[in-house]
Structure 1
């Protein structure tokens, strides 16, 4: 097709149907990740399950559509478009209910998301699969080969548009429900276009009713009481689902359904999550904490750790947070104040270290989740890069989500062994007496130190950090047996397989009691043991309330 014919090209009705089916099928596939991840996590099994279900549903649709293609008409395709739009309305309105219901099924954790994906996205994808063979049958192209190739090309172009637009335009700018509404209305408009210029009464009335249903579904979602508290802010960012939830005096940031940061609104100096207090163990590992001039946090979240370091020490704190929306939420809801002592960089942590020759005394790695770990921040190559950016007696601190031993400890052991390949000494501290999945803290020193528990206790007593670390020092662990653990490398990280045993396990986060000050000379009180809201068991939020609610 030359330039002149391309400029005057007008798609036929079957061609329009194929293009729109490609746009919506791929758009729904991208959207499925954002809908399902807050409930079941965004690990490889969730994403792989979504891809598998979509491909199976499309294949079944192609097969059944091909068998019935001899009877295909534009009117039949319009009914397919309307039926798909109806199911998109179901997804908009009832996704939370369907997700929470299917999550109770007794399935191995790696397969837990499959029922939800099948129920939510199997039927509409199956229906869209009918469009391509119908369009090939109705094509005005000469020969089966030419007609099939034309349909495949248009469908693929539609998929490219749907994937790119949903990923780079729609998700950053709109809520999940609004995007679903947009796809539904596009399907309704296509159904009407397939009937143009004649508008039979039945399909026309149905189109109006379906459009009205979509608007109602997007604007009046199911009433649900969020057990976590009052959702004061909610958004889908380019990277994850972000929520700010107030439960009494405690404000918590949730990322993809998991708690990430928390602050006490009546006592901002309190370390709500005990593990954030452990960050200060890095100041016991350096030669002299008063000589610490620059600290880097990889991962910002609610910025509770970076702000605490900036206020407590005479040091400049750099924070690398890949998601700008998270930083914006921290400014709005967690009191983040940027300044000369606290600098924020919106980029990947490894890229920042690679492109920046700044030397740091302490690097705090706080970018891991229970079900999703950026593998490129775990490997030997990353550890060598971090070591190059540390001062001679610098410290790398890693907040690892894992079990200290037994089932669920594989990632901890692999991370420990990988850090040992670069750093002379690595120390680990558990944050809970339970052997559940928890925040295990690793402290690696660039110089040889050979610290014992007594050494850490002595330094804690001698140094005026303003933070009571007695409980953290007491949780010092002996070196784990890592003989069977792999060394993580860029070319064969294998992190997802190491996280697999933790799927479905209870993630325990210790919390300090209400009213505990940030600094104290008294030992830590008995901790409050609380399980994180695991994505596989926690109902999702009332998604229609995505606007800010003060």
Structure 2
């Protein structure tokens, strides 16, 4: 990289530029999940859409950047970076209207289309930086290979650093909107510095003036980008409506989702939500649990007398652990999201009765010491599926923690489809690989979309027990279900298509939640 006069040019600034823009690409890509997930859920479709859109945008950027670099006379890197900054600052403003506009497209196309609209423009501009930098760093054909390799290597290192910085430091401390605004403003600062350094190639007035002109609206956009989108100002037919208004009592953005507590004083209902999933519901007046399926689980101590120690995987609002205490049962709880744990204690009066563990269940159960008389696996809500917690291998780990008379209770949300739902059959078939006996209960009678409670153990299970009243026995018997497991698949760590099998469930559940609390509760 020598000048015609044989003197070294200070190209260190060029490497700093591609390093920082490479980091910006990954920050925008990863932050995209936190803007899309509250509306469409944190599913595989969100990640697939973001990765695909990033690749599409970078490919377009590489191509366009190369042509621009070959033909540009009075524009350079500074303008490209400034445009990227402005387009990044527009993302928080555009999120609400774009998500609402794509809502009718369904889960898969809605996720992809909204991601394409929101993130493609800024990522295209950032993709253009690499080819332009190669052009500036190359003085002769003999050095083009080394220049290209160096530029893209430094950009990739920047992407790695940006990913680690966001995941390990920024996101646990700063909200996603604040980070978006910080990246946008940072790109304007970088563009100003680049305009100064590339003055050897482009007159400063041609490079700096466009940056300033773009920075002015960018700075004006910044304060609005720090606040959640006001969906209430959109047309009523665009946001939908809830039967009754909900008030936000608690809101926290965590590493795992957007956690909120919503109150409906008219209906006397308090909801605990993570992104677009309801993971707890109680009456405001008395704190009474309103989840019917949990009432089935709470009858297990009467089905299997002698339970002393339990484990609840997926604490949620903590009602089941609280209700088990009336039987003298100490319950350890595992909850992946510290924001959910905080909301449960402050708004649902949850008080741990055993060990209170914050972490991913698949990792944490490896460290636990059995034996438990009852393990409740309650993580398969209507929203995203943590499929790694429903495999033959996971169930085997759970069985290893159970006592000889231990019982597993697993809640699963799905359609019944007259007993022919493959996802539901797959749960039963996978459980049968580990447990010799199982009972299946349906939560709400006469409803196709439902909570299904699987009770599994290594010993026979009966609901005819003297500790159950006739009313309780009749109530359980009316919900007893038989499913043909032969239609199902055995879910393993190697092969687990559960999320794909549950696509219709996710779309239907999301529509039910929107009808309940209103679309405006899911746009930010």
Q: Same fold (TM over 0.5)?
A: yes
- Alpha-carbon distance in structure 2 between the residues aligned to 1:155 and 1:194: 16
1:51-130 correspondence runs (5 A):
51-72=51-72, 75-105=75-105, 107=106, 109-130=107-128
Query: How many Å apart are 1:468 and its aligned residue?
Result: 5.8
* 2:297 counterpart residue number: 279
2:492 is the counterpart of 1:492: no
Change (3 A) 1:18 1:377: same
Secondary structure of the 2:519 match is coil
CA offsets, 1:25-77, max 9 Å, x none? 11110011111111112221221111111101110110111122113479532
Query: How many Å apart are 1:235 and its aligned residue?
Result: 2.1
* 2:364 counterpart residue number: 352
Of 506, 526, 532, 2:513 maps to 532
Q: Contact (CA 8 Å) 2:442, 2:453: kept in 1 or not?
A: yes
Query: How many Å apart are 1:141 and its aligned residue?
Result: 6.7
* 2:270 counterpart residue number: 251
Change (3 A) 1:272 1:182: same
TM-score relative to the length of structure 1: 0.83
1:41-60 correspondence runs (5 A):
41-60=41-60
2:131 is the counterpart of 1:133: yes
Q: Contact (CA 8 Å) 1:69, 1:133: kept in 2 or not?
A: yes
1:101-500 correspondence runs (5 A):
101-105=101-105, 107=106, 109-139=107-137, 143-196=143-196, 200-219=208-227, 221-222=229-230, 224=232, 227=242, 229-248=246-265, 249-268=268-287, 270-286=288-304, 288=305, 291-310=306-325, 312-338=326-352, 341-406=353-418, 409-449=421-461, 451=462, 455=464, 459-461=467-469, 471-478=475-482, 480-500=483-503
Q: Contact (CA 8 Å) 2:95, 2:229: kept in 1 or not?
A: no
- Alpha-carbon distance in structure 2 between the residues aligned to 1:194 and 1:351: 46
Q: Contact (CA 8 Å) 2:276, 2:513: kept in 1 or not?
A: no
Change (3 A) 1:72 1:148: farther
Change (3 A) 1:220 1:78: farther
- Alpha-carbon distance in structure 2 between the residues aligned to 1:330 and 1:196: 53
Secondary structure of the 1:342 match is coil
Change (3 A) 1:179 1:469: farther
CA offsets, 1:183-204, max 9 Å, x none? 1111111111112275744432
* 1:520 counterpart residue number: none
Q: Contact (CA 8 Å) 2:380, 2:411: kept in 1 or not?
A: yes
Aligned length in residues: 495
Secondary structure of the 2:453 match is strand
- Alpha-carbon distance in structure 2 between the residues aligned to 1:482 and 1:138: 64
- Alpha-carbon distance in structure 2 between the residues aligned to 1:505 and 1:65: 43
User: Tell me, which stretches of 5 or more residues in structure 1 are unaligned?
Assistant: 1-8, 509-530, 544-550
Higher alpha-carbon deviation: 236-245 or 68-77:
68-77
Q: Contact (CA 8 Å) 1:306, 1:342: kept in 2 or not?
A: no
Secondary structure of the 2:286 match is coil
Query: How many Å apart are 1:407 and its aligned residue?
Result: 9.0
CA offsets, 1:149-202, max 9 Å, x none? 111011101111221112222221111210111111111111111122757444
Higher alpha-carbon deviation: 484-493 or 11-20:
11-20
Secondary structure of the 1:355 match is coil
* 2:3 counterpart residue number: none
Q: Contact (CA 8 Å) 1:172, 1:238: kept in 2 or not?
A: yes
Q: Contact (CA 8 Å) 1:396, 1:444: kept in 2 or not?
A: yes
Secondary structure of the 1:398 match is strand
TM-score relative to the length of structure 2: 0.87
Query: How many Å apart are 1:376 and its aligned residue?
Result: 2.9
Q: Contact (CA 8 Å) 2:303, 2:468: kept in 1 or not?
A: no
Secondary structure of the 1:19 match is helix
Q: Contact (CA 8 Å) 1:298, 1:349: kept in 2 or not?
A: yes
